């Protein structure tokens, strides 16, 4: 169960001289909108919700909320990443109470079979439970490592869809990712080239992600092959501050031209299938969130690559997962 911890949040709000509070919540928390608004309005605050998608800690609606007259923005569900805003911003983690020790305990034989040294990783919803997970595995005789947060995350062991710095350079035999969905554990595997067990505390399962990883790689190499035959490219650059990769876009533009391709830069707040369809370029590079090109691949009717994949396409290097470092 997700914990909003609104009483604790109220203490943070009181630090600011705010009357109108802007609220930004991801899709998975929008069913809590009435609870949140009732809580703050009953305490004398006016509440305004952002209705735009909330893609992560990189996507902060401070400009929109300032224009709407808000004195303060509360960004739910993600840990702090950016530090300069038009109005004060409170990043508010939303923690998940579900036990992660149980999924480890019921799959301990499978975990042990992969080696003695394990690296742990998770997302912000479960990161407060990593200490408990490490303690359990050490009691089982394993050597456990949890990496630092890196430049974009806030907590040790926390990975993001755009950054896997927390698992870099750990001296481990394999990794255990605790959470839901395949994207993060596949990212860990591609970033480290080591075995990854995906442990879902809701399903109670721990599974190897090798098959899913190989499926993704096959699709991405096929996408690069299609793009290699195209001549007219466009680079899509996000106007979102935490995703704006303008310097990398300029580098990729030079690389494309060096290899005989034409290239145009396109800035957009929302990078989606309609943007790709409406322009008549033959192929696109996403200089924004790396997940767009991969997660939304089935939606695009033209080749769409990540920044890292563009270099691989020309240099025939091993596959590298595209990541964003400090912006």
The answer on pLDDT for 326 being more than 80 is: no
Question: In whole angstroms, what is the distance from residue 310 CA to residue 60 CA?
Answer: 28
Q: What mean pLDDT do residues 19-44 have?
A: 94
The verdict on 84 and 105 lying in the same domain is: no
Report pLDDT digits (tens) over 106-117: 999 999 999 999
The answer on pLDDT for 15 being more than 90 is: yes
**CATH label of the domain that carries residue 112:** 3.40.50.11850
> pTM of the full predicted structure?
0.89
Phi then psi for residue 92, to 5 deg, are -120, 105
294: in domain: yes
**Strands of the sheet with 304-306, listed across from one edge:** 262-268, 232-238, 283-287, 304-306
Decide which of 33, 58, 93 is a domain's last residue.
93
The verdict on 14 and 106 lying in the same domain is: no
**CATH label of the domain that carries residue 31:** 3.40.50.11840
Q: How many domains does the chain have?
A: 3
Report pLDDT digits (tens) over 111-136: 999 999 999 999 999 999 999 999 99
321: in domain: no
Give, in degrees to the nearest 5, the angle at Cα 287 between 80 and 254.
Answer: 135
**Where residue 148 falls among pLDDT bands split at 50, 70, 90?**
confident
The verdict on 53 and 116 lying in the same domain is: no
The verdict on 154 and 65 lying in the same domain is: no
Q: What mean pLDDT do residues 91-114 have?
A: 94
Decide which of 157, 184, 208 is a domain's last residue.
208
């Amino acid at each position: 169960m997700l914990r909003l911890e609104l009483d604790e949040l109220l203490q943070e709000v009181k630090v600011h001289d705010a009357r109108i509070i802007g609220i930004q919540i991801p899709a998975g928390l929008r069913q809590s909108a009435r609870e949140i608004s009732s809580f703050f309005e009953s305490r004398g605050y006016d509440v305004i919700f952002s209705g735009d998608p909330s893609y992560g800690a990189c996507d902060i609606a401070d400009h929109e909320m300032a224009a709407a007259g808000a004195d303060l923005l509360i960004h739910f569900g993600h840990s702090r990443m950016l530090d300069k805003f038009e109005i004060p911003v409170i990043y508010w983690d939303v923690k998940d109470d579900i036990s992660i020790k149980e999924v480890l305990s019921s799959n301990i034989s499978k975990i042990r079979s992969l080696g003695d040294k394990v690296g742990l990783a998770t997302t912000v919803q479960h990161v407060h439970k990593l200490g408990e997970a490490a303690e359990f595995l050490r009691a089982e005789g394993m050597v456990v490592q949890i990496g630092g947060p890196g430049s974009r995350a806030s907590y040790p062991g926390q990975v993001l869809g755009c950054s896997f710095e927390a698992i870099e350079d750990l001296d481990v035999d394999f990794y255990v990712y605790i959470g839901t969905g395949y994207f993060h554990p596949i990212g860990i595997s591609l970033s480290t080239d080591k075995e990854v067990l995906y442990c879902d505390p809701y399903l109670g399962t721990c599974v190897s992600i090798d098959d899913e990883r190989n499926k993704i790689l096959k699709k991405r190499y096929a996408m690069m092959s299609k793009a290699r035959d195209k001549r007219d490219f466009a680079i899509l650059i996000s106007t979102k501050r935490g995703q704006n990769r303008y310097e990398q876009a300029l580098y990729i533009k030079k690389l494309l031209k060096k290899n005989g391709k034409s290239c145009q830069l396109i800035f957009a707040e929302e990078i989606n299938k309609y943007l790709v369809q409406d322009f008549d370029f033959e192929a696109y590079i996403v200089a924004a969130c790396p997940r767009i090109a991969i997660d939304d691949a089935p939606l695009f009717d033209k080749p769409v690559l990540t920044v890292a994949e563009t270099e691989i396409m020309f240099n025939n290097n091993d596959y590298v997962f595209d990541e964003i470092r400090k912006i």
